[in-house]
Amino acid sequence: MTSTTSAPRHKTTEHHIPAEHHPESRRPASRRKESWRRRMADPVFNVFAVGTLVLAIAAIIYPLYFIVIASVSEPSEILNGNVWLWPQGFTLEGYARIFADAAIWQGFGNSVLYTSVATLISVVSILCGAYALSRKDLYGRKFLMLIFILTMFIDGGLIARYLVVRDLGMLDTIWAVVLPGAVGVWNLIIARAFFENNVPSELREAAQLDGANDFRFFFQIVLPLSKPLIFLMIMIHLVANWNAFFDALIYLDDESKYPLQLVLRNVLIQSEVNSAGGTGALDSYAAAQRLGELMKYGMIVISSLPLLIVLPFMQKHFTKGAMIGAVKS
């Protein structure tokens, strides 16, 4: 009698594969990548993408370029539509007339002064206020933040602001231009979010253990960590203060204190009035109108040139600061 021995059965163990690592779960992403690769390899798509990019760049750059070439072209050529890519009838008479005006140089100096002082006051005020409001141990910080936010929606109006500036004795002074809009609430909110997300309380506790008080912690630790935010605030207020002219128009009476934007506005209006109201010979009227057109484009170039020189060097800090300050984790 033979005994049959059954072969041992090997148990197959099934390994559980997490859903996020399963090949099926990766198919949609891989399909999207493959679809993107196919589109990139498609010459039609490449032509469309490059063409769209070129059109977008041209729509941004060409108006600036046109103003530059128009400022050195004959106004008659501009009116006839002959100025497209190159200056026609090259002339620097408009720039010569602009720079010969002493009021423009004085306005340029005033704009540099107003922009520097206003930007400094705004950045310092926003950084200090935003850091204080970001501290969770500040008593009544929610109420204070509510007060700031209410000022974005409740405004006393132009007459009320004028009366306040007058009663404070700031009319016809630099402070009437730089102080009323020194603190922008929206920028304060961005800076507060930046400090909340990038300055942990553990860092402050460690600094306190090393003997650092609040002032030392803010100036030696917080500010060096906040360079993107600082550059962002400087850039925003630099552009706003350089282009501002309405406050100067309302609060300043002495023309020697006018900023560049207001001086250029007055020069342009005066040239238009002279050309429109001329009652003399036809030749003098045409000459005045021609000079007004030349100065118009030249003044746009002069007022925009300082920002076009400075802002490219701050572009990377602007992008980084805006992303960090605007996103709350």
Instruction: Give me the DSSP letters along 128-190.
Output: HHHHHHH-TTSTTHHHHHHHHHHHHH----HHHHHHHHHHTT-TTSTHHHHSTTS--HHHHHH
- How many Cα atoms sit within 13 Å of 236 on the Cβ side? 23
Rounded Cα distance, 324 and 254, in Å: 43
What separation in angstroms does the CA of 143 have from each of 149, 182, 185? 10, 21, 14
Interhelix angle 102-134/260-276, nearest 10 degrees: 140
Domains contained in the chain, CATH given: 37-94 (no CATH), 102-326 (1.10.3720.10)
| Residue-level pLDDT at 36 | 59
Query: What is the pLDDT at residue 274?
Result: 60
Q: How far apart are CA 225 and CA 198, in angstroms?
A: 8
Cα 300 to its chain centre, rounded Å, is 19
Is 93 exposed, middle or buried, given 0-12, 13-18 or 19+ CB atoms closer than 10 A? Answer: middle
Which pLDDT value is given to residue 30? 62
Q: Using alpha carbons only, what angle is made at residue 77 by residues 284 and 261, rounded to the nearest 5 degrees? A: 70
Q: Would you state the pLDDT for residue 266? A: 83
Residues in the chain with pLDDT values less than 50: 1-17, 19-26, 279, 325-329
C-alpha 298/C-alpha 268 separation (Å) is 11
Residue % of the chain over a pLDDT of 70 = 77
Q: What is the pTM of this model?
A: 0.73
> Looking at residue 74, what is its pLDDT?
85
Give the pLDDT score at 112. 93
- pLDDT tens track for 202-213: 888 888 888 888
* Side-chain-side CA neighbours of residue 255 (13 Å): 9
Residue whose C-alpha is closest to residue 302's, from 270, 261, 269: 261
